[in-house]
Chain A
């Protein structure tokens, strides 16, 4: 066990309130990320999700006697790539160990993992926590202790039969990367930001799809509490949390539970706990306690995993632009830190934005993507992959504003029409006569009419120039909102104030 080092300065902003004094949370995360690959870590069976029970199972995965594991080179490459994406040490020699325990979903009776010599060593993930009320982000560096490759277990179902559990081994032997953080996390927001950032890095790299609904990413959460800046407390490990929201709830519940015990003069038992998302509580998993003696030893079926510098450099050269680099580039291209951070937070956002921004003003594009599109998607409970508006269509709307064909206000209506009905924005504007009136003659006629009908208002405006807004509103109404607001303003000024 490596010695725990505290690299953070206590920040009152992160403290958790207690009876007599504040408490500081210390959190470490073990994230299990399913490696994106066609075949499993040590067999040629498929990794596809949602297949018929036990159809993606080879005799190796079912641990039939005499079967031998042969490692999938793509899984090795993906692990190295992920390590490089976290600026981590890549170990040119690593070793697979057997972690022994009995469970019905583990046919071998052991999991092939890497305890003593993992493929990836220490690294760092830079996390943006926020935004706060002022739209600012706090940058926090979270240390990564290690990343190792291991096999996933099968799946048990308990609700199919009164006395029996059903076991499906399709997931058995699928490659996982276990990414272990250092105990550098000090608040729920930081924990959420860490998982969000890690997920984003994995998705940019294409090494894990980050799909938490399908279990492609799950976290074991280690939580302890202490007096701010004091010695590390005793930790509890909450197993298998499968959403970022649940993780926040689990940490909050667990922190309160531990603080209550300590404030009543008790002490924390180091134990494994389970999060129940229905009752929103953590519970002790007593059965896991004894199983903790895993009797690790090097797997005699597998030689050490070795590669050279050239292999690492070849993978390094293939790395895509990562979220931090992309954010820096977006900011150089004129986006605010807020906009850039939102856009890079999910690879699908950045990809969409870049498609629309191609040849268009990036600030305007960012506003439309973040405020209008992401806002509407959020409201509708959809994600960007299922957006009713394509980058091409959104680009079309922005082009119409740029060309002064429609006003910003009409553009919002147009956005809604495209959202609900689809179609080519330019054609919709033409067919429905939504183009703004730039013909000053037509605007002038409308203005003259309104001025003639409201002499009292004209007098009022001459007293109070701010009243001109009333006229602008009238002209817009008279032209069905299609008059160019700038032209209306100029003409009004001229006609009323001479």
Chain B
């Protein structure tokens, strides 16, 4: 598997990463090197092997349905670049 420059630009856009044309070009080369390296895994026969989801054999931990968090609007919004009255403020987005 390999990617072309257009794919690199599209993925960058979907990830909201701004890149120049030159950077996209060098990024394509870097990504293809990585993909080529990872591709070696395809040599391993995994027929009938379930995907491993955890290195330890355990069940997912669950929480009980209890409200024991929240009520810290000031803390939650403390690091926001812009906030007013505990609302986050972002550049206007309207459909």
Contact = CB atoms under 8 A, between A and B. Distances in A.
A305 B60 contact: yes
Interface string B70-95: 11110111000010111111111111
Interface residues of B, number: 39
A367 interface: no
Given A164-B90, A164-B91, A44 B67 contact: yes
Nearest to B75: A59
B68 to A, nearest CB: 4
Contact of B76 (A54, A95, A302): A54
A54 B54 CA distance: 34
A140 interface: no
Interface stretch (A65-73, A316-324, A435-443): A65-73
Contacts of B91: 163-165
Contacts of B73: 52-55, 57
A165 B66 contact: no
B47 interface: no
A287 B5 CA distance: 23
A57 B80 CA distance: 14
Contact of A52 (B13, B62, B64, B86): B86
Contacts of B89: 161, 164-167
B21 to A, nearest CB: 19
Interface stretch (A19-27, A35-43, A422-430, A485-493): A35-43
B93 A103 contact: yes
B65 A167 contact: no
Nearest to A56: B70
B90 A45 contact: no
A249 to B, nearest CB: 18
Q: Which of B10, B54, B77 has the most CB of A within 10 A?
A: B77
B70 A45 contact: yes
Contacts of A46: 67, 70
A73 B70 contact: no
Interface of B: 10, 13-14, 16, 51, 53-54, 58-73, 75-77, 82, 84-95
21 contacts: A46-B67, A52-B86, A53-B73, A53-B85, A56-B70, A72-B64, A104-B88, A104-B90, A156-B93, A157-B87, A158-B93, A165-B93, A165-B94, A167-B90, A169-B88, A287-B95, A291-B14, A302-B60, A303-B58, A305-B60, A306-B59
Interface of A: 37-39, 43-46, 52-60, 62, 70-76, 95, 100, 102-104, 156-158, 160-161, 163-169, 274, 285, 287, 290-291, 293, 295, 298, 302-306
Given A46-B67, A161-B92, 10 more contacts: A54-B87, A58-B69, A60-B69, A71-B62, A71-B63, A104-B90, A104-B93, A165-B93, A291-B14, A303-B58
